[in-house]
Amino acid sequence: MIMIPKQLGEVAAFGGSNVDPSVKSCFEYTKAKEFINLEQFLNWIKLEPQSIVWLPVLHRLSVAESARHEAKCSICKEYPIIGFRYRSLKHFNFDICQNCFFSGRKVKGFKFDHPLLEYYSPISHNFIK
C-alpha cells in the first residue's frame, strides 16, 4: 500500500519510497513486539500516517469524478460544475470548477487572496445560512 504512490510516480507529493519508517511507526504506536493484529493496525491507520495520506485523497478524487454541483463556475461559466467545486469563503456566490482551479485561470481584477472550500460531493441547498 505504501509503495503505490511510487508506482504512480507520485513520490514527490505523497512519499512512498521507504517502507521502514511506517512499519516502525506502526510498531511504536501499537507498542507491539512481534506482530500487529488487525485492531491495532486499524487504530494506527486512523491517525492517517503520512505514508497512506494518498488513500483519503484518492477516495475524494473517485467520489468527485461523478459529482454534479448546482453551481456555475465564475470563471468559465460551466454549469453545472462537474468534479471538484471550489467555493470562496470570502465572496458570496463565487465558485470555481476544477479545470479553472487546476489550470490557475484567473478573473480579471480578482485577487485569489482568500480561502476556498473544496467540495468533492454535491451539497444540499435546502438550507440558508
Q: Which residues bind Zn ion (CB under 5 A)?
A: 73, 75-76, 78, 97, 100
In the complex, minimum distance from the CB of residue 113 to Zn ion, in angstroms, rounded to a whole number: 19
What's the CA gap between 14 and 12, in Å, rounded?
Answer: 6
What residue has cell string 508506482?
7
What's the CA gap between 119 and 86, in Å, rounded?
Answer: 6
Strand blocks (E) in the chain: 68-69, 81-82, 85-88, 95-97, 116-119
* Closer of 22 and 98 to Zn ion (Cβ): 98
In the complex, minimum distance from the CB of residue 99 to Zn ion, in angstroms, rounded to a whole number: 5
* Closer of 71 and 100 to Zn ion (Cβ): 100
In the complex, minimum distance from the CB of residue 76 to Zn ion, in angstroms, rounded to a whole number: 3
In the complex, minimum distance from the CB of residue 94 to Zn ion, in angstroms, rounded to a whole number: 12
* Closer of 9 and 104 to Zn ion (Cβ): 104
* Closer of 14 and 84 to Zn ion (Cβ): 84
What's the CA gap between 58 and 44, in Å, rounded?
Answer: 19
* CB half-sphere exposure, 106, CA atoms < 13 A: 6
